[in-house]
Structure 1
Amino acid sequence: MKIGLIGLGAMGKPMALNLMGAGYEVYVYDVRDEVVKELEEKVTGGCKTVAELASKSDTIISSLPNAKIVEAVMTGEDGVFKNSRQGTIIIDMSSVSPGSSKRIAKKAEEYGIDYIDAPVSGGVSGASAGTLTIMVGGKDDTFFKVKPLFEVLGKNIYHVGEVGCGDAIKMINNLLLGCNMAALAEALALGVKCGLSVEIMREVISKSSGRSYALEAKLEKFIMANSYSGGFAVDLQHKDLGIALEASKEEAVPLPVTATAAQVYETARAKGLNRRDMSSIVKIWEDLIEIEISGKEH
């Protein structure tokens, strides 16, 4: 199987190397020529255009920043659809809205191309180790054809329904994460103002009904350490909540809690916390009511 991989960012690059290591022919493309050149000697070949990559590939994987870019890459005059053979399978591993993937998949059908969405969870470390969680939306037969590729890239692989369903479950998961983190920041601020130490709150809540992944993953490592480098950026969480709000309009489902949480991350971006871990939103309350949430004692 000849695989083309479009998008050599933090996730795409290690995925390309893992597929090459598993014995596949791998062709790569990115808008940054220097990144393609960096990988040329480690994969089957680098491509100068999307059209060149499409013409060489049986299966194409895209890992791109947003739906607008995905659509342009797929449907443009020099894009994937017009330069791929019938029967080509496209796997979009970007995080976009379910509606966007459904629309692109319909256009793919016009060219005799099978299109599936397969967003991931697990971050750069998971991409490097080949242990990603992969959430796949697409036809059964298409999924089984490319499942061996997913088994190279990930450890937990879920076929969750038709096209768009992979994006949907990723969206729901990230909606919960974003809202939980915003609620945790708010709760910590109130607790500190009431005289509780962050350490006591961590100890008690972790054994009580208010516990969450946000508490377990973010409180001690980031907030209590007052160190917000690395992790999952505010900008990325803001983008994910935006995807959920876009879907809410398409499906006519009110999301008042999500809309409020999105404004919390928007406020954090206005404070210049864009690239900091999402837990840095506690800085909003620290500045607003002049408290310190980080550290073990208050």
Structure 2
Amino acid sequence: MTNTVALIGAGAMGGAIGDRLLATGNRLFVFDLDTTKVETLVAKGASAAASAAAAAAAADFVILSLNSAAIVRRAVFGDGGVAAGAKPGTLIIDMSSIDPDATRQLAADAGERSLRWVDSPLSGGAPKALVGELTLMAGGAAQD
């Protein structure tokens, strides 16, 4: 089954996640402020998005791989952010490693906008992401 996924954040970890998503047959829309990181995934078959909102509008799921709670908040709720483009009910999977209090607030804010949120920090690094062997923790509503 092919999924259409938006990836916000294509650094070392996000780029490896994007590689794996492409290798397993998913459609990938990618946004990162660093266009060279986006271009790397585009060369492998991803589609570049002009904004996080545009990536989210095209996708069934949104994966975040960002460096801090402030950056996650800006990427989701700022101008041109995920929340501006995502369809109601879109599942946001936050693979960023940020503090639990910030995560709970982000999830609550997403819920107020009819978006679903799963906190999914990971262990294993980029090498494990490339071969599909990350260890993921997940927190959120049971149905998500």
> If the length of structure 1 is used for normalisation, what is the TM-score?
0.46
1:104 paired with 2:93, answer no
- Structure-to-structure mapping, 1:276-287, within 5 angstroms: none
Which position in structure 1 is the counterpart of 2:80? 78
Aligned partners of 1:51, 1:91: CA distance in 2, in Å? 15
1:141 paired with 2:135, answer no
- Structure-to-structure mapping, 1:184-203, within 5 angstroms: none
Query: SS of the counterpart of 2:143?
Result: helix
Query: SS of the counterpart of 2:87?
Result: coil
Aligned partners of 1:63, 1:43: CA distance in 2, in Å? 19
Structure 2 unaligned blocks of 5 or more: none
Aligned partners of 2:80, 2:136: CA distance in 1, in Å? 29
Structure 1 unaligned blocks of 5 or more: 143-298
Q: What is the root-mean-square deviation of aligned Cα atoms in Å? A: 1.1
Aligned partners of 1:119, 1:134: CA distance in 2, in Å? 6
Does structure 1 conserve the Cα–Cα contact (< 8 Å) formed by 2:66 and 2:96? yes
Structure with the higher fraction of residues in helix conformation: 1
Bigger Rg over Cα: 1
Which position in structure 2 is the counterpart of 1:27? 29
Give, in angstroms, the shift of residue 22 of structure 1.
1.2
Aligned with 2:41 (options 36, 39, 42):
39
Query: SS of the counterpart of 1:61?
Result: strand
Aligned partners of 2:130, 2:29: CA distance in 1, in Å? 18
Query: Per-residue CA shift, 1:61-112, capped at 9, x if unaligned?
Result: 0000111100111111311112110010000000000111110111111111
Moved over 4 A (4+): none
Query: SS of the counterpart of 2:135?
Result: strand
Query: Per-residue CA shift, 1:159-203, capped at 9, x if unaligned?
Result: xxxxxxxxxxxxxxxxxxxxxxxxxxxxxxxxxxxxxxxxxxxxx
1:18 paired with 2:2, answer no
Which position in structure 2 is the counterpart of 1:65? 67
How many pairs are equivalent? 142
Query: Per-residue CA shift, 1:204-257, capped at 9, x if unaligned?
Result: xxxxxxxxxxxxxxxxxxxxxxxxxxxxxxxxxxxxxxxxxxxxxxxxxxxxxx
Aligned partners of 2:45, 2:63: CA distance in 1, in Å? 15
- Structure-to-structure mapping, 1:232-251, within 5 angstroms: none
Which position in structure 2 is the counterpart of 1:118? 120
- The amino acid across from 1:125 in the alignment is P
Does structure 1 conserve the Cα–Cα contact (< 8 Å) formed by 2:16 and 2:127? no
Aligned partners of 2:126, 2:110: CA distance in 1, in Å? 29
- The amino acid across from 1:35 in the alignment is K
Give, in angstroms, the shift of residue 41 of structure 1.
2.6
After superposition, the Cα gap between the structure-2 partners of 1:125 and 1:44, relative to the gap in structure 1 and judged at 3 Å, is closer
Aligned with 1:130 (options 129, 132, 136):
132
> If the length of structure 2 is used for normalisation, what is the TM-score?
0.94
Aligned partners of 1:134, 1:74: CA distance in 2, in Å? 21
Aligned partners of 1:17, 1:123: CA distance in 2, in Å? 13
Larger RCO (CA within 8 A; separation ≥ 6): 2
